[in-house]
Amino acid sequence: MTTDAKILAALRANPSGVSGAHLAEELTISRAAIWARMDELRQAGYNIEAGPHFGYRLVSAPDALHADDLLARLHGQREHPRQPEHNPQKHPTANIATHHKIGRDIRVFEETTSTNDVIEKLARDGVPEGVVVFAESQTKGRGRLGRKWVSPTHKGLWFSILLRPELSPQETTQLTAASATALRRAIQYVTGLAVVIKWPNDLLIGGKKVVGILTEMSAEVDRVRHVILGIGVDVNQEVEDFPPEIRNIATSLKIESGQAISRAELATTILRELDADYARIYSGKFSELADEWETGCATIGQKVSVQMGSRLIRGCAEALDDDGALLVRTEHGHLERVIGGDVTLEK
């Protein structure tokens, strides 16, 4: 962690205040240097009080993504998981060991073409797995099947994660499942909203899409080189922030919950949950994760139509196959295995 990240971590761990002398000793820098860092954090929008009795105290943080702050929060959540304000639920991964891979390195861009593009370059440069790139806005955000993803500045979380899993290309559906379950737990935990999975890994609230995930990989036929998880979460948009043509199919956490959500808190909760599910895959507990995926998947039992290339399949989504494929019983009684394509829930 950087010095700023350590200072923010100490402030968050000590809500009643921490003394400058103590901080200076911990970080082995002078008290004047601590004072200078606090001043810079204030200029970045952090409201930090100082007083002779309590030392330094964090009153509020700006709703901006700040790499050091995200690192500090992630570290703090791991050390001291605590209840969020809006939700009395149990800490979702209290019993899941994390392996602290995802989020070891966090980078925030004010604007980029697409965070997947940035990670792609880092991957080619040999950067280790776990690096996360956030952007406050994307000029060429993209979704599945080459579609455009609208990502208005400061309103959502647009980020990508580099993974280098020891999986075959066939096994990457495990990451599809992990991303769906982890995002669902994190959003339910921070907002208290009921979230369902639309197969394979879209997340819906009240039937409208709130999260999209694009999983890209570079591989040999039998070996994955790297996987890029690209994630878009609609957080604090108002209805009018969405283009009119998607207002009946897309929503934000703010619209659904009626209150603004701390993007930084949500971001680090998501990273912690993703890390926990990535650890579950590595420790041979994928079946546990698959059960959670199927439980959260609202597509099961529904009438669906699936566009696979030029073919349209209509029927009832019966279950998930062992490898994550969707099993659809057609009108003619055949059971079709769907591994991809565009699934529409029919009314």
Cα distance between residue 289 and residue 280, in whole Å: 7
Cα distance between residue 324 and residue 287, in whole Å: 11
Single out the segment in contact with its own copies by CB under 8 A; choices: 69-77, 216-224, 245-253, 268-276.
216-224
Nearer residue to its own copies within complex by CB, 18 or 306:
306
What Å distances lie between residue 34 and 62, 236, 308, 310, 346, CA to CA?
A: 20, 33, 59, 63, 59
333 forms part of the interface with its own copies (CB under 8 A): no
- Asked if residue 55 lies in contact with residue 25, where contact means CB atoms within 8 angstroms, the answer is no
- Enumerate residues 6+ apart whose C-beta is below 8 A from 32: none
Interacting positions 125-184 with its own copies (CB under 8 A): 144-145, 166, 168-170, 172-173, 175-176
215 forms part of the interface with its own copies (CB under 8 A): yes
**What is the torsion angle, in degrees rounded to the nearest 10, for the CA atoms of residue 286, residue 287, residue 288 and residue 289?**
50
Single out the segment in contact with its own copies by CB under 8 A; choices: 48-56, 84-92, 208-216, 274-282.
208-216
Single out the segment in contact with its own copies by CB under 8 A; choices: 56-64, 209-217, 280-288, 297-305.
209-217
Nearer residue to its own copies within complex by CB, 196 or 219:
219
The residue from 47, 83, 139, 218 that contacts its own copies (CB under 8 A) is: 218
216 forms part of the interface with its own copies (CB under 8 A): yes
- Asked if residue 201 lies in contact with residue 176, where contact means CB atoms within 8 angstroms, the answer is yes
97 forms part of the interface with its own copies (CB under 8 A): no
The residue from 92, 200, 232, 296 that contacts its own copies (CB under 8 A) is: 200
214 forms part of the interface with its own copies (CB under 8 A): yes
Q: How many CB atoms lie under 10 A from the CB of residue 123?
A: 20
9 forms part of the interface with its own copies (CB under 8 A): no
Distance of closest approach, residue 322 Cβ to its own copies, in angstroms: 14
299 forms part of the interface with its own copies (CB under 8 A): no
Interacting positions 59-88 with its own copies (CB under 8 A): none
Distance of closest approach, residue 229 Cβ to its own copies, in angstroms: 10
Distance of closest approach, residue 169 Cβ to its own copies, in angstroms: 4
The residue from 223, 238, 312, 344 that contacts its own copies (CB under 8 A) is: 223
311 forms part of the interface with its own copies (CB under 8 A): no
222 forms part of the interface with its own copies (CB under 8 A): yes
Pairing of strands 131-135, 55-60: unpaired
Task: Tell me whether residue 124 is exposed, middle or buried, using C-beta atoms within 10 angstroms of its C-beta: 0 to 12, 13 to 18, 19 or more.
Answer: exposed
What Å distances lie between residue 239 and 90, 152, 165, CA to CA?
A: 31, 12, 38
The residue from 24, 150, 219, 319 that contacts its own copies (CB under 8 A) is: 219
Torsion angles phi and psi, residue 233, rounded to 5: -120, 125
217 forms part of the interface with its own copies (CB under 8 A): yes
Distance of closest approach, residue 325 Cβ to its own copies, in angstroms: 9
The residue from 220, 240, 245, 322 that contacts its own copies (CB under 8 A) is: 220
Single out the segment in contact with its own copies by CB under 8 A; choices: 45-53, 219-227, 267-275, 313-321.
219-227
- Asked if residue 205 lies in contact with residue 194, where contact means CB atoms within 8 angstroms, the answer is yes
Distance of closest approach, residue 143 Cβ to its own copies, in angstroms: 10
DSSP 127: P
SS3 per-residue string spanning 168-212: CHHHHHHHHHHHHHHHHHHHHHHHCCCCEEECCCEEEECCEEEEE
Concatenated DSSP letters for 262-294?
-HHHHHHHHHHHHHHHHHHHHTT-HHHHHHHHH
340 forms part of the interface with its own copies (CB under 8 A): yes
What Å distances lie between residue 286 and 90, 275, 290, CA to CA?
A: 22, 14, 6
Residues near its own copies (CB under 8 A): 144-145, 166, 168-170, 172-173, 175-176, 200, 214-223, 309, 339-341
